[in-house]
Amino acid sequence: MKLNKKVLAASMVGGTLEVYDLTVYGLMASILAPIFFNPANLFSSLVQSYGAFCVGFLARPLGAVLFGHMGDSFGRKKALVFSAMLMAFSTLALGLLPTYESIGVWASFGVFVIRILQGISVGGEYTGGLILAIEHTSPEKRGKAGGLVVAGYMGGVFLGSITSFLFTLPFMPSWGWRLPFIFGFLIVGVGLYIRQKIQESPEFVSPKKSASSSFAHDFLKNPMVFLSCIGAAGSAGVFCYSLAVYIPTFLKKEFFLSQTTAMLIPIAMTFCMMIGNLSFGILSDKVGRLRLMRIGGTLTVLSVFPLFYLLNSESFATCVIALLIVGFLSTIFGAPMNTFVVEAFSPAHRYRSAALSYSLGMSVFGGSAPLIASWLTTVSEGPFLLSCYFFLGALMGLGAVKLLERHFYQKDAPRQRHPLPLQATGS
């Protein structure tokens, strides 16, 4: 099978808009803090705002269970349509939500509820889009398909960063922060329209043709694969969400940057990560997913302390360059990892198993990353503890790869473009 352009567009557009919505909230968390939480205590309101960001991630496994069951039982297409609709209306609700000044603590409560709904949506969307694209593509080109989809998702971060930057410019009205969320609702219709036009995945196995099993059965059959995929996704999440969401706040504080100047940093970083995801996704078709993940994890472990040492530099340009390198290096691991997690499970139970393992990793480790990074830089002078945190995150990913290599090892793997025995995880 060749790369299906319609399917790729459907996967990329939907995922891009989902990640866009998350990025807008993450980047504007410091702006939204006094708007939706008690403005009398700015530190507390900021912690609660980042806490709401984290809560959305904790809801992702619930979305993986819900949409994973739907995707394996009724088709990938239906699950992705419903997940996009949920994200669209929850994002619109955030854009229209009354402020703390208007309705008090109910505004705070509303933010948490909306973030939970967004998290449920992403739990089914992110991995679902990858599954749809990969199942429409032949094995020797799946790395490229996965790289394109993830690059599209990073495009959502890029779009969210630009939109947040534009609507926080000094000449914007005080309510300008609402416009990025309303804009997200309007453009989600593009993704829904495209998804209605595509065909169902050729690898979708109807429950009528395949015996169904529980999540417990899936886990107990291959616990090491499931747990290792959680660790691999968690490692990628630490880097992705710390760099995209917290680092602009860190540099803003360290260099006394304006809000709009700080917003430019994730735009440049995301662009580098888009290039990296596409490039290393293609490369994984040639050298193998796990081998490239091992190389990426090793390079990150070796370079994280030297690169974060540069954050002590008084030069703003030096700090930004160091962060761009960290972001690019993280894609050597992250690009093949996204495709690998999908391929690691059999088609009959792929949606729920891949989505749940990926969502658990991203929820526990990725969702908490901005909050942990913020705390580490508060309790210590300089970025040393922050670099230790990134080092441990990279080490966790490298450990997950070692376990997966032991499970999927084949004597002839070096001669294969796709050294992954899918039948080993089949049921």
| 10-residue mean pLDDT series, the chain (427 residues) | 72 76 79 86 81 83 89 86 86 90 91 90 85 86 88 81 77 82 78 75 65 59 86 90 75 72 76 89 92 93 86 79 87 92 86 89 84 82 83 93 81 41 35
Q: Is residue 103 part of a domain?
A: yes
Distance CA 292, CA 297 (A): 9
Both tokens of 402, joined, read 């070692």
CB 147 within 8 A of CB 7: no
208 within domain boundaries = no
As a whole number of angstroms, the distance between CA 110 and CA 330 comes to 34
Q: Is residue 205 part of a domain?
A: no
In a domain, 17, yes or no: yes
53: its two tokens: 């960001």
Compute the distance between CA of residue 249 and CA of residue 244 in angstroms, rounded to an integer: 10
Whether residue 334 is contained in a domain is answered as: yes
Q: What is the DSSP letter of 139?
A: G
Do residues 348 and 205 touch, judged by C-beta distance below 8 A?
yes
Separation of alpha carbons 232 and 215, rounded Å: 20
Tell me how far apart the alpha carbons of residues 374 and 408 are, in angstroms, rounded to a whole number. Answer: 38
Nearest to 386 by CA among 314, 319, 318, 315: 319
Domain for residue 206, yes or no? no
- Smallest CA-to-CA distance from 309 within 412, 388, 191, 208 is with 388
Largest separation between any pair of C-alpha atoms in the chain: 66
Q: Provide the number of structural domains found in the chain.
A: 1
Structure tokens at 341: 């997690």
What is the Cα–Cα distance from 243 to 370, expressed in whole angstroms?
8
**CA 286 – CA 243 distance, rounded (Å):** 29
Instruction: Give the closest residue to 130 by CA, choosing from 120, 144, 113.
Output: 144
| Token couple for 426 | 């089949």
What pLDDT, on a 0 to 100 scale, did the predictor assign at position 339? 92
207 within domain boundaries: no
| N-to-C CA span, the chain | 24
Taking a C-beta distance cutoff of 8 angstroms, is the pair 160, 180 a contact? yes
pLDDT at 411: 37
Q: For residue 316, give the CATH number of its domain.
A: 1.20.1250.20
Q: Which domain holds residue 106?
A: 5-200+214-425
Task: From 318, 349, 327, 339, select the one nearest 211 (Cα to Cα).
Answer: 349
Q: What is the pTM of this model?
A: 0.82
Residue 275 lies in a domain: yes
